[in-house]
Amino acid sequence: MKILYLLPLVLLAACSSEVPEKSLSESKPTTVVGELVPTTSRYFNFVPTPSILIFSETRDWRHEEGIAGANLAIMKAAKEMGHGYYTTEHSGIFNEKDLARFDVVVFNNMTGDALTPEEETAFAKWQSKGNGTVLLHGAGDDSHQDWDFYHNEVLGATFVSHPMDPQFQEARVEVLAPKHPVMQGLPSEFMATDEWYTFEAVPSDDFIVLAGLDESTYSPVNNAYGDRSDLRMGPKTSDHPIIWARCLGDNQARTVFTAMGHRYETFETTEALLILKNMLNWAAKKTDPESSGCAK
């Protein structure tokens, strides 16, 4: 009986070696490296241009609440911007034809080695045209280091750990670049509760640090796991950045990261919502037409 049950699976595997179409919108379901590349629904054909691609594939830790909260907040913000939106967890959408519908990609708590080398190349080419990228929370963890361009050029910092004593804590956030478009409308400082990331170092001078943490207002300690329990980066808020931006290439492709966003509650606060809206508008070049936010 077991042999009979296995026979269809063997036949399926034998038929699954065909190379899929390059465009997700035209492809048929095909097994590639053990995963199913889906056909987009007819809805995809009605996604307007420009739109925001909200991508949350998970190959490592899954921030279920943060993904859900950010998805809803981004959808609402997109409508205010006059943009469409499309949410997916399938990396097959990272091809030249399908990416052409979007002028912003949001890596919403994406974790792990989510894109194939071909898809990574397609994203880099899309971004080089001047399109914008927004990275939320888990998109800045340590599971992306196999993709050099993303880790070094788009993100720009290496995650170390986060507190577990307790995991979620209230801390004082200080705005360090008040004139930057992403920080417009925010108070000079505010209190926020999140899972606060620590990084090996501040991003290089190619990045613009927009906000930092006051480590004296929470306990940057992790005694639960890992080789490093003391997660302090320095006494000044600028020593511990949590939001930063960069412009890449001749077309000034805008990229911006926030370490906030582990839980859906983050996106119910006034400050985090405003930051998210500012990030999306700046990445889409709907604000800052002279690219003043690209200069240190």
Nearest to 192 by CA among 210, 213, 209, 178: 213
Quickly state the pLDDT bin for 233 (edges 50, 70, 90): very high
Read off the pLDDT of each residue in 34-42 and give the average, rounded to a whole number.
Answer: 51
Our measurement of the distance from residue 166's CA atom to the centroid of its chain's CA atoms, rounded to an integer in Å, reads: 25
Using the predicted structure, report yes or no on whether residue 22 has a pLDDT greater than 70.
no
CB 125 within 8 A of CB 96: yes
Query: How confident is the prediction for the chain on average, in pLDDT?
Result: 86
pLDDT of residue 143: 83
Quickly state the pLDDT bin for 16 (edges 50, 70, 90): very low
| Out of 2-16, 37-51, 117-131, 214-228, least confident range | 2-16
Read off the pLDDT of each residue in 270-291 and give the average, rounded to a whole number.
Answer: 97
Nearest to 245 by CA among 290, 280, 201: 280
CB 139 within 8 A of CB 108: yes
Using the predicted structure, report yes or no on whether residue 11 has a pLDDT greater than 80.
no
pLDDT of residue 296: 77
Q: Give the burial string for 259-280 (b: 16+ CB within 10 Å, else e).
A: bbbbbbebbebebbeebbbbbb
- Sequence-ordered list of residues with C-beta below 8 angstroms from that of 186, at least 6 positions apart, any chain: 175, 178, 271, 274, 275
Question: Percentage of residues in the chain with pLDDT exceeding 70?
Answer: 85
pLDDT in tens, 155-192: 999 999 999 989 999 999 999 999 999 999 999 999 99
Q: Which long-range contacts (CB under 8 A, 24 or more apart) does 69-72 make?
A: 69/261, 69/263, 69/264, 69/265, 69/266, 69/267, 69/268, 70/106, 70/108, 70/109, 70/136, 70/261, 70/264, 70/267, 70/276, 71/108, 72/267
- Report the predicted TM-score, pTM, of the whole model to 2 decimal places: 0.85
Ordered structural domains, the chain, with CATH: 12-39 (no CATH), 47-294 (3.40.50.880)
Using the predicted structure, report yes or no on whether residue 33 has a pLDDT greater than 70.
no
